[in-house]
Chains A and B, each alone.
Chain A
Amino acid sequence: MSTLFILNQPELLDDCITVMQPDDALLLIENAVVIATKSSTTQYKMFVLKDDLIARGLFESIHDQSTAIDFSKFVELTLAYDKSVSWL
C-alpha cells in the first residue's frame, strides 16, 4: 500500500520520514512548503502546493527536487496513492 504523507509543519519532517516506505510520497502544504526551497536528503518523491509557495513569496526559490502542484493535482494525488495521512 502506497501512502501520500501530507505535512503542514516543517518541524515534523524528520518524524514523518521515519515511517515512510520507498514508494510513499510527501506533499508539503502550508508552512511546510519552506522545506521545498532547500535541497533535501530524502529519497522520497516530494510535491509542494504552489499556492502556499506563492503566498509566501517562495515560488521562484523552489528546489528542483520538489514538484509544484495545484489543487486539482492535489486531488489527483490523493487518488493515485492508496491512502493519505496528514502527519500532525
Chain B
Amino acid sequence: MKSICFIFNKPPYGDHKGRELLDICLMSAAFDMPITVIFKSQGVYQLLQNQQPDVISVKNHSATFKALDLYGVENILVESESLLEHNLKMEQLLPIAEAVSQDVVKHQIASSDFVIGL
C-alpha cells in the first residue's frame, strides 16, 4: 500500500493553502492509505489554539484539524526544532500532534511514497 505524507509549512489565513491542504488530507483519508501529516517551519502556527479568523472574515479551519483523528489519520507530527524556532510550546497547540525531531521528519519524508506540501 502506498504511503502519503502531507506537509504544512505556512502560517494560516494569509492564503487558503492551509485549509486546502487540510481538505486534501481528509479526502485522502477516505482511501485508507497510510497517511502522515507534518507541521514544520511556519506551519506550526496552523495548530495554535484560540484562533479567531472571523475578525478578518476568514473561515476558521483550525477546528477541522480535529477531524483528522475522526478520519483515522493518527500519524500527526510537529517538528520540535520549528516550535523552538518560533518559540511556541506544545501546550499552545491543538492537542492532536506528537512532537518529533527534524531527523524523524526527514526520515518520514524520505520513506513516504508521495509527499505533498502546500
Contact = CB atoms under 8 A, between A and B. Distances in A.
Interface string A1-27: 101000000001001001111001000
Nearest to B10: A88
B95 interface: no
Contacts of A24: 110
Q: How large is the interface on A (under 10, 10 to 19, 20 to 34, 35 or more residues)?
A: 10 to 19
Contacts of B32: none
B105 A88 contact: no
A19 B105 contact: yes
B106 A83 contact: no
B99 interface: no
Given A3-B115, A19-B105, 18 more contacts: A1-B111, A3-B109, A15-B9, A15-B40, A15-B41, A18-B41, A18-B102, A19-B7, A19-B40, A19-B102, A19-B106, A21-B106, A83-B115, A85-B109, A85-B115, A85-B116, A87-B117, A88-B117
Interface of A: 1, 3, 12, 15, 18-21, 24, 83, 85-88
